[in-house]
Amino acid sequence: MAKPTKELDILKHHLSKNNLKLTRQRENILTTFLKMEHVTAEQMYRLLAKKDPHIGLATVYRTLKLLCETGLAQEQHFGTQTQFDNVAHKGHHDHLICTTCDKIIEFENCQIEELQEEVARKNGFTIRTHKLELYGNPVQLSSGECKNCGKDLSNQDVRR
């Protein structure tokens, strides 16, 4: 099936190191996961169910957690929603989230990361991971709608 990837090797290595086995489900989940920037467990479940209708949601949860342990994925909480980020391919990135249409834009900014390190250093900390989310929306039209999705924004408070 899928040609060997660096990521598959990472998974295999983690599996053998921990006496675990490479199953069809695990391989499918990894393959699908690598095509995405981020997924929720539910989304992953629905994607997989198209090809393999008998897949269980519990397996998806278990495998996504496994991918986090290998370092290929990283669990992220946006508001109330839990997403699994593909860090393997893109490296670390932060998020800009549209509060009207829930679209997520990824970005990186070295200057911010440096300032974060500085804050940590001042507090005697070593940063292991971090999370930065900006919530907002595209400049609104004079008519009061979101430029992206058209929803009415005129009665939303701005609070930073």
Partner DNA sequence: GTCATTGCAAAGTCTTTGCAGGTGA
Partner DNA sequence: TCACCTGCAAAGACTTTGCAATGAC
Q: Give contact residues for DNA (rule: CB under 7 A).
A: 15, 19-26, 40-42, 52, 54-59, 61-63, 65, 80-82
CB of 81 closer than 8 Å to CB of 119: no
Shortest distance, position 145 Cβ to DNA, whole Å = 26
Shortest distance, position 144 Cβ to its own copies, whole Å = 13
How far apart, in whole angstroms, are the C-alpha atoms of residue 82 and residue 132? 15
Please list, in sequence order, all residues whose beta carbon lies within 8 angstroms of the beta carbon of residue 90, skipping any fewer than 6 positions away.
Answer: 37, 106
**Nearest to residue 38, comparing CAs of 108, 94, 100, 110?**
94
Mask for 91-130, x = binds its own copies (CB under 8 A): -x---x-xx-----x-x-x-xxx-xx--xx--xxxxxxxx
Q: Map tokens 């981020």 to a residue.
A: 38
Q: Which residues bind its own copies (CB under 8 A)?
A: 71, 77, 79-80, 92, 96, 98-99, 105, 107, 109, 111-113, 115-116, 119-120, 123-140, 147, 156-160
